[in-house]
Copies of this chain bind each other. A is one copy, B any other.
Amino acid sequence: MTLLSGGLSSLLESIFHPRSVAIVGRSDPWVRWLLKFGYRGRLYAIHPHYEEVAGLKVYSTLRDVPEPVDLAILNVPAPLFRGIIQDCGANGVKAVTSPACGFSEAGTEEGKGLEAEISNLARRLGIRIIGPNCIGIYCPDSGLTFCDGMSCQKGQLGYISQSGTNATRLVRLANLRGIYFSKAIAYGNACDLGASDFIEYFMNDPETEIVAAYIEGVKDGRRFFNVVKECAKKKPIIILKGGLTNAGSRATSSHTGSLGGIETTWSAFFKQTGAIRADSVEEITDIAMAILYLPCPRGRRVAILGSGAGGGVALADACERAGLSVPPLLDETRKDVEKVLPPVGGSARNPVDGGPPVPSSSVIRKGLRLVAADSQIDFIMVHMNVDLAWFFDSLDELRERISDLISVARSLSKPTAVVLSATPGTEEQNVLSEAQQRCLEAHLPVYTTYEGAAKGTAKFINYREFIGGISA
Chain A positions within 8 Å of B, measured between CB atoms, are 29, 33, 77-78, 99-102, 105-107, 111, 133, 147-149, 161-166, 168-169, 172-173, 176, 214, 216, 242-248, 250-252, 254-256, 280-281, 304, 307-314, 316-317, 319-321, 325-328, 343-347, 349-351, 353, 355-357, 385, 387, 389-391, 421, 423-426, 429, 433, 450-451
Knowing that A176-B423, A244-B317 are A-B contacts, what are 17 other residue pairs whose CB atoms are under 8 Å apart, sorted by A's residue number? A77-B344, A102-B344, A148-B389, A148-B390, A161-B310, A169-B421, A242-B317, A245-B316, A247-B316, A248-B313, A248-B317, A248-B320, A251-B309, A255-B347, A280-B314, A280-B451, A281-B314
How many angstroms between the C-alpha atoms of A99 and B345 in the bound complex? 9
B166 touches A310 (CB 8 A): yes
Contact of A176 among B165, B246, B385, B425 (CB under 8 A): B425
Of the candidates A149, A214, A328, A433, the one having the most CB atoms from chain B within 10 angstroms of its own CB is A149
What is the CB-to-nearest-CB distance from A402 to chain B, in angstroms, rounded to a whole number? 16
Report chain B residues within 8 Å CB of A248: 313-314, 316-317, 320
> Once the chains bind, are A251 and B347 in contact (CB under 8 Å)?
yes
CA distance A433 to B424 in the complex (A): 10
A311 to chain B, nearest CB (A): 5
Say yes or no: A343 contacts B243, CB within 8 Å. Answer: no
A101-B345, A216-B313, A350-B247 are contacts. A165–B254 as well, Cβ < 8 Å?
A: no
Complex: chain B residue closest to A103, CB-CB: B344
Bound-state CA distance A309–B134 (Å) is: 11
- Contact status B344-A106, CB under 8 Å: yes
Chain B residue at minimal CB-CB distance from A173: B423
Contact of A252 among B313, B387, B433 (CB under 8 A): B313
B246 and A320 contacting across the interface, CB-CB below 8 Å:
yes
Of B29, B216, B313, B350, the contact of A255 (CB 8 Å cutoff): B313
Is the Cβ of B308 less than 8 Å from the Cβ of A163?
Answer: yes
Contacts of A244 in B (CB 8 A): 317
CA distance A343 to B357 in the complex (A): 58
18 contacts between A and B (CB under 8 A): A101-B345, A133-B345, A149-B387, A166-B314, A176-B425, A214-B310, A242-B314, A243-B317, A245-B326, A247-B304, A247-B317, A247-B351, A248-B314, A250-B349, A254-B309, A254-B349, A255-B312, A255-B353
In the complex, residue of chain B having the shortest beta-carbon distance to the beta carbon of A147: B390
Give Cα A40–Cα B389 distance, bound, in whole angstroms: 24
Residue numbers in B under 8 Å from A357 (CB-CB): 164-165
Task: Tell me, in angstroms, the Cα distance from A95 to B305 when the chains sit together.
Answer: 34
Q: How far is the CB of A312 from chain B (nearest CB, A)?
A: 5
Cβ contact within 8 Å between B351 and A251? yes
| Cβ-defined partner of A347 (8 Å) among B254, B307, B390 | B254
Contact assessment for A390 and B310 in the assembled complex, using a CB-CB cutoff below 8 Å: no
Give the nearest-CB partner of A172 in chain B. Answer: B423
Residue contact A385 to B347, C-beta cutoff 8 Å: no
A99 to B342, CA, bound (A): 15
Q: Are B425 and A433 in contact (CB under 8 A)?
A: yes
Chain A to chain B: the 3 pairs with minimum beta-carbon distance, closest first: A163-B310, A102-B344, A101-B345
Taking CB as reference atom, which chain B residue is nearest A99?
Answer: B356
Q: Which residues of B contact A309 (CB under 8 A)?
A: 163, 165, 251, 254-256
Contact status B385-A313, CB under 8 Å: no
Closest residue of chain B to A324, judged by CB? Answer: B247
Q: Could you say which residues of chain B place their CB within 8 Å of the CB of A147?
A: 390-391
Residues of B within 8 A of A389 (CB): 148-149
Please name the residue on chain B nearest to A344 by beta carbon: B102
Report the minimum CB–CB distance from A358 to chain B (whole Å): 10
Q: Which residue of B lies closest to A33 (CB)?
A: B390
